[in-house]
Amino acid sequence: MGPLLSERFKDRLATVLIRAGGVLVILVVVGIVVNIGAQALPLFVGASEGPLEEVSTSSPPLLAASSPRRDLVWMLARDGVIRIPGLEDLAVSKEGSVLTAADCEIHDVVSAITEEGSVVVGRVRFHDAWTAGQRRTTARWQAMAEPLDLGGADWVGVTANADEDGNLMVAAWNRSGGFSVAMWDAEDEDWDIRSSVTGISGVRAAAVAEGLGNLAVIDHRGGLRVLSGRDLEGSTVVGVDEPMVTARFLIGGGSLVAVGSDGRPRILLSTPRVQVQNGGDESMRVSGVVIAPGKAAIVPDDEVGRRLASRPEVVLRSCPPEWRVVRTLRPVDGEPTVMAVAHRRRGFAVGTAAGDVALYYSTSGRRLLADEWSTSPVRALTIDPKGDGMVTVAGGAVLRRSVNNPHPEVSLRTLFLPVWYEGYAAPKWVWQSTGGSDAFEPKLSLWPLIFGTLKATLYAMLFSIPLALLAAVYVSQLAPPWLQSVVKPTLELMAAVPSVVVGFLAALWLAPRLESALLAVILGVVALPVAVVVALGVWRLVPDRLRKMLPDGGELLLLLVAGGVVVACVGALAGPIEARFFDGDLQRFLFSEWGLRYDQRNSIVVGLALGFAVIPVIFTIAEDACSAVPQALVNASRALGATRWQTAVRLVVPAASPGLFAAVMLGLGRAVGETMIVLMAAGNTPLLDLSPFNGMRTMSAAIAVEVPEAPVGGTLFRVLFLTGTLLFFFTLALTTLADLVGDHLRKRYARF
């Protein structure tokens, strides 16, 4: 009994260890997925705010804002003095003058106007000095121009902004309907005043864009107008159907936020347009507009120039852009009174007559916060320089609050739905995570990455599945033993080639040669399958007496001869065909006639390289599945008169179908998760285009390229972790599908 108990103990111990190992593996995988998902979860958590703080002040100020460190608050009083608790006062206007209005624009451009119409523009600058380990902060008023004298009286509003060269634009309005615009030339140090603007009177509010390219004006009826350039020419405004109360340009100057009397913020974008003149004999359709011969139409410039520039019958002329409402956001509670914009992002805040303040983000269209700050109307509102707090003036009190708003630009809508971005003619799925300035608008749609992953996988599987499965069936059922001993180890050895080597060869060796011999490759892809079919048809016509004289595998000689003849003919005829039908340049013909741009690192290169890496996976599993079919069944089929080909197709393939499907799905999973090959050979262009002549960016390639540069805990960092989570679940779905279909096929063909 001792040895028997010992064997039972060993069996039970082995069972426990195997189960424990399996459970441990599952727990580790689940833990990894949970950790990755936890990094992405904060993307969907809304903003939060700290407690409300009241800043002591001797008199109600016109304007208040925070220093960059948020440790100080400065307040501009009506006597023209900026007061900062703990620091010396700063004089803004001459002594004895009374300010009637003030404004704070992007990058802390402060403008104020006196009763007599004297305008001052400048910034409040803070400087930190360290002495004996202690930080000492000082402040000063930095005037950006000489005081501007507009004259007159009853000035009730002023706003100003600057460009990178220090030039200024000032807009001011009074109760009697007067409206003046002045330009400061930083080089000549001189003001150019326009005391009247055509068609503008009874101004209620105005805003100047960063860069001074646009001026928005709201008249006393609530009508919104946008004036462009130094000549202040009117632009078309589309979609504003309610009276507007206030408006502001966001950072960069290409986005305008206008809040209506209904409390709803509207996001307006400058939409590019182009005039298309049809000089041909037939009607043409451009961006959904039908243009008759000899006629012209103005259409959104949705890459129209790129697609039509090469057509001689088309004449393109640039047109002024139009401002169009692209998003209408959730309303604020109460009548809007003031609005402030963020300095580094496309966020903005709206204050109301009920004392409420709401925080929004333009790109995502989210209302991030909405809370009551006071029971009195909000008269002034600013967002802190780093976007981590806000300051208001309400009921004569200065109130401030910290704001935690780490990921305002992300929502399910921006990740998976088309978004209308600044500078675009229509909503699009775009992945562009970084830019060259603070005004850059992050575009983090995941669809280009998902599409690129599916596209790379599609072309790889189109190349690998037929070759791998046909090779597996041939080697296991039809090939002679000597050929099996050569082909099977060779294909399995392909799996040992590092993917970085495959990607390197594809990018630096294959891609240039494919570009120089594009037409030959296309002709070869069409001609080789035809040659194989013809060669096999010829083989069937060979008398049995002659076939028996050839060694086993002799049909391969015929296929090799046919393939060699095709390659030689294609190489000889590609040049003349290209010269005769494509004017000697196939790539230029594709672009000019069909609008297809050829990139050297494209889907064909990726399909060949990635297919090379996937073929060993599919072949090995498929060949084992075919070889596992009982030899007794094969012998019985041959004994009943079936040929080897009939036996392979009608018996072996159905019986091995679960394994064949599993092989395909495992190859698909390898293609989906591959990184180095697509990183090196795909061109890394996140395009939504099935064309085989351009590249793509896959999810795995985006993670590999951008994670090292993404700030830890930042929006891009977490979006990439979300991408990794989606990639895992995508692979899990493929594996689950493979298991379900394989189980179904095993039950269906159980009789074999």
State the DSSP string of 371-411.
EE--SS-EEEEEE-TTSSEEEEEETTEEEEEEEE-S-TT--
Predicted confidence band at 198 (pLDDT cuts at 50, 70, 90)?
Answer: low
- Per-residue H/E/C for 231-247: CCEEECEECCCCCEEEE
**Where does the pLDDT of residue 195 fall: very low under 50, low under 70, confident under 90, or very high at 90 and above?**
low
Helix or strand run (H / E) with residue 337: strand 336-341
Show Cβ contacts of residue 179 under 8 Å, excluding neighbours closer than 6 positions: 171, 172, 173, 196, 197, 200, 201, 203, 206, 217
Distance CA 45, CA 406 (A): 9
Residues 6+ apart with CB under 8 A from 718: 39, 40, 42, 43, 407, 410
- From the number of C-beta atoms within 10 Å of its C-beta (0-12, 13-18, 19+), residue 196 rates as exposed
Compute φ and ψ for 145, nearest 5 degrees: -165, 165
In DSSP notation, 118-142 reads: EEEEEEEEEEEEEETTEEEEEEEEE
CA–CA separation, 357 and 404 (whole Å): 15
pLDDT at residue 424, rounded to an integer: 86
CA–CA distances in Å: residue 186 to residues 71, 145, 192, 371, 650: 32, 8, 11, 42, 85
Q: Region 618-622: what's the mean pLDDT? A: 91
CA–CA distance, 40 with 709 (Å, rounded to integer)? 17
> Which residues, including other chains, have CB under 8 Å from residue 77's CB and lie 6 or more apart?
59, 61, 62, 83, 99
CA gyration radius, the chain = 36
Of 191, 76, 172, 193, residue with least CA distance to 123? 76
| CB contact at 8 A, 409 and 46 | no
**What pLDDT was estimated at residue 305?**
53
Q: Residue 28: count other Cβ atoms within 10 Å of its Cβ.
A: 10
The Cα 714–Cα 42 span in angstroms is 10
Reported as a pLDDT band with limits 50, 70 and 90, residue 307 is low
How many Cβ atoms sit within 10 Å of the Cβ of residue 254? 23
Tell me: the pLDDT tens digits for 237-289? 888 888 999 999 999 888 999 999 999 999 999 888 777 777 777 777 776 67
Domain range summary for the chain, segments of one domain joined by +: 447-748
Q: Which residue carries 């009637």 as its tokens?
A: 100
Average pLDDT over residues 320-344: 91
What's the CA gap between 83 and 114, in Å, rounded? 18
Place of tokens 């902004």: 161
3-state secondary structure 606-667: HHHHHHHHHHHHHHHHHHHHHHCCCHHHHHHHHHCCCCHHHHHHHHHHHHCHHHHHHHHHHH
Would you say the C-alpha torsion 440, 444, 450, 453 has a positive or negative sign? positive
pLDDT tops 60 at residue 306: no
330 Cβ contact partners less than 8 Å away, ≥ 6 residues apart: 264, 367
Task: Name the residue with tokens 């002591």.
Answer: 56
Reported as a pLDDT band with limits 50, 70 and 90, residue 551 is: low
Which pLDDT score is estimated for 637? 85
Residue 29: HSE in the Cβ half-sphere, 13 Å Cα cutoff: 9
Task: Write out the CATH class of domain 447-748.
Answer: mainly alpha
Element (H, E) at 513: helix 511-516
Q: Reduced to 3 states, what is the DSSP secondary structure of residue 183?
A: strand
d(C-alpha 292, C-alpha 280), whole Å: 9
**Residues 38-85: tens digit of each pLDDT:** 999 999 888 899 999 988 887 889 999 999 988 899 999 999 999 999
Average pLDDT, the chain: 86
Model confidence over 104-121: pLDDT tens digits? 998 889 999 998 889 999
Q: How far is CA 433 from CA 113, 246, 436, 495, 713, in A?
A: 41, 31, 11, 34, 15
The whole-angstrom separation of Cα 174 and Cα 176 is 6
Determine the Cα–Cα distance for residues 261 and 272; give it in Å rounded to an integer. Answer: 28
Q: Report the Cα 662 to chain-centroid distance in Å.
A: 34
From the centroid of its chain, how far is CA 727?
A: 17
Place of tokens 């409420």: 356
DSSP 484-495: HHHHHHHHHHHT
| Residue 458 pLDDT level (bands cut at 50, 70, 90) | very high
CA distance 313 to 324: 30
Residue 446 predicted with pLDDT over 90: yes
152/87 Cα distance (integer angstroms):
35
DSSP string, 354-371: TSEEEEEETTTTEEEEEE
What are 206-235's pLDDT values in tens digits?
Answer: 999 998 889 999 988 888 999 887 778 888
Mean pLDDT of 404-427: 90
Report the length, in residues, of the chain. Answer: 752
Q: H or E element: which one contains 249?
A: strand 244-249
Location of structure tokens 């010992």: 6
pLDDT of residue 583: 79
Angle, CA of 437, 438 and 439, to the nearest 5°: 90
| Token code pair at residue 180 | 């003046």
* Residue 476 per-residue DSSP state: I
